[in-house]
Amino acid sequence: MPSALNKFILFSVLLAALFSAPHNLYAKDSETPKDLKTEIKEYISHHLEDAYDFRLFSYTNDQGKHVYIGIPLPVILWDEGLQTFSSTKLHHGEEVAHVGSNYYKLEHGKIYKTDEVGTINYDESHHATNIAPLDLSITKGVVSMLLIAFLMFWLFTSLAKTYAANGGVPAGVGRFFEPIVLYIRDDIARPNIGEKKYMKYMNFLLTVFFFVWFLNLLGLTPLGVNVTGNIAVTFGLALLTFLITNFTGTKDYWLHLFDPLGSSMKWYAKIPLYIILIPIEVLGIFIKPFSLLIRLYANMQAGHIVLMSLIGLMFIFKSWLGSPLSFGLAFAISLIELLVALLQAYIFTMLSALYFGFAAEEHEHH
Amino acid sequence: MEKLISEFSIGLFFWQSMIFIGLLFLLRKYAWGPILSAVNQRETSIKDALASAEAARTEMESLQSDNQRILKEARAEKEALLKEAHSTRADLINTAKEEAQAEADKILTQVQEAIQNEKRAAINELREQVGSIAMDIAEKVLQKELENKDKQVQLIDQLIQDSDLK
């Protein structure tokens, strides 16, 4: 029964989020009425950012005030000591949060320390000059990642258990995931890293693949989380690839980095070449993971922008022809995004494996 | 680039790293390790099963050829045995015949000998009996002849005459 109840709750939440999204478009800001296009633009950029609460939908009530329906999340700040309070105190940037003896205000998705009335000072390029305390809040993105982490843990431990219970044969949902695990092992890890060392990297490759894939898919749900389209997340993932690559680098890997020509040339001939070559090689070890983080970020970000813009178009056209057309387009893009979600996870894993392969290579010495 | 840096949330990065590294270690212990080892085990067991099936097949083939060979040998042996039995039978018959012949011959000669002996004995006996009968007859004749004196003298005379005592 609890699972049925859970399913029902989840379904209602999804449904609510699906049907409530348009409401939000009209009910953004009551003080300064904006045209629809700016509103949609703001809505999209707001959606792409992380949020301090898990908002399901919002509407404007009869008094013209915003009512937000969602789950408040804890805000954790380090500001001369740990400051924790519920995100409801921030009131979506409309009011100043009073915590202890400090005042905080949400401005453009960031929490700033302010005075009692919430004054935000700006410099000439319109950047807030207030102090931004170290922010370790459990945001929407963190909740999504935790959700996916629990899902993955539950999914794959249960898959592991079916092997023991079922005599080495997967059962249930494991039948779907086992071929993917095997694909990553046989077609990504083995050919790129090599038969001898691939096992060492399998944990990371499998975890990163499913983590990215599931988060990508979660981004396509009406919950509208954009975790893999966040630069901090992709940076974290790529940083791990970078660290693993360089910490498991063999002697040959470093030799290739700092002595790429080897013994094929005399040392005095190599010097002028190496003045150019070695900086390029060293730059390369940073560029490789950097390309990983930018690629994933840009792809997911772009997908969300396109999809939300197309949905927004429906409200701009408001015609019998235009709205169904943009709906059709949005639907088609959704299908493509479904593919992109898998593809980006695959590419991230594949390239990570490739870089690990460079690090793990061992030449035969003659 | 500036936008990217201003967008960068240290909090999100911190939590992402914590969650991901935690997940990495948890999954390694409870999921990927067991899954990969189970899959490996399954694969090696399949490989082993295939190899043993192949081995069984070749063994089967060798057994079959062995059977064929043994059958052939048995057949040849049977034929040889039959041949030998035939020749033994012929030999046996021949020797039996010869022995029987010899025995028969021996018996025949013995019988002949016995017959000869009997014949001889019979002849002897006959001879004796004929002799004694002749003697008896001669006696009786003599008695009759010599009943009177005249005849005796006459006989003596005749005998003397016959004996050529002249």
> Of how many residues is chain B composed?
166
Quote the pLDDT of residue B63. 93
β-strand pairing of A66-72 with A74-78: unpaired
Do A130 and A156 share a structural domain?
no
Q: Residue A33 domain-assigned?
A: no
Q: Does the distance separating the beta carbons of A240 and B32 come in below 8 Å?
A: no
Q: What count of other Cβ atoms lies within 10 Å of the Cβ of residue A65?
A: 11
User: Within a domain: residue A58?
Assistant: no
Q: Are residues A52 and A139 in contact, defined by beta-carbon separation less than 8 angstroms? A: yes
Q: What is the mean pLDDT of chain A?
A: 81
Band (pLDDT 50/70/90 cuts) for residue B57 is very high
Assign A22 a pLDDT band (cuts: 50, 70, 90). Answer: very low
In the predicted structure, residue A167 carries a pLDDT above the cut 90: no
Domain check: are A160 and A128 in the same one?
no
Alpha helix (H) residue ranges in A104-173: 140-165
Q: Report how many domains make up chain A.
A: 2
Give φ, ψ of A55 to 5 degrees.
-85, 130
Q: Clarify whether residues A172 and A106 are in a common domain.
A: no
When pLDDT is averaged across residues A18-27 and rounded to a whole number, the result is 42
Residue A294 shares a structural domain with residue A321: yes
Q: Does residue A27 lie in a domain region?
A: no
Asked whether residue A63 is domain-assigned, the answer is: no
Query: What percent of chain A has pLDDT above 70?
Result: 89
Domain that holds residue A99: 74-137
Output the pLDDT for position A225: 82
Residue A20 above 60 pLDDT?
no
- Does A11 fall in a domain? no
A103 and A195 co-located in one domain: no
Q: Which ranges constitute the DSSP H helices of A166-193? A: 174-183, 190-193
pLDDT of residue A176 exceeding 60, the answer is yes
* First vs last C-alpha separation in chain B: 200
Q: Is residue A51 part of a domain?
A: no
Asked if A178 is an interface residue toward chain B (Cβ–Cβ < 8 A), one would say yes
pLDDT at A6: 57
Is some CB atom of chain B closer than 8 A to the CB atom of A163?
yes
Statement to judge: residues A213 and A90 lie in one domain: no
Mean of the pLDDT values across residues A131-137? 81
Interface of A with B in 96-135 (CB under 8 A): 127, 134-135
Task: Give the domain-ending residue among A95, A118, A137.
Answer: A137
> Is A45 part of a structural domain of the chain?
no
pLDDT range class, residue A9, cuts 50, 70, 90 = low
Q: Is A119 in the same domain as A149?
A: no
pLDDT grade for A12, boundaries at 50, 70 and 90 = low
Instruction: Mark yes or no for CB contact A159/B35 under 8 Å.
Output: yes
**Boundary residue ending a domain (A137, A168, A190):** A137
Do B36 and A185 lie within an 8 Å CB cutoff?
yes
Using one digit for the tens of pLDDT, what is the confidence trace for A245-304? 999 888 888 888 887 777 777 777 788 888 888 888 889 889 999 999 999 999 998 998
The answer to whether residues A272 and A187 belong to one domain is: yes
- Say whether B16 and A233 touch across the interface (CB within 8 A): yes
A82 and A114 together in one domain? yes
What are the tokens at B90? Answer: 């012929």
Whether residue A221 is found in the same domain as residue A342: yes
Number of CB pairs, chain A paired with chain B, less than 8 A apart: 126
- Per-residue pLDDT for A57 more than 80? no
Predicted complex ipTM exceeds 0.85: no
Residues A119 and A207 in one domain: no
Full-model pTM: 0.73
Examine the fold and report which residue of A119, A137, A155 is the final residue of a domain before the chain moves on: A137
Identify the weakest region by mean pLDDT among A27-36, A44-53, A288-297: A27-36
**Would you say residue A1 lies in a domain?**
no
Residues A173 and A246 in one domain: yes
pLDDT for A1 equals 42
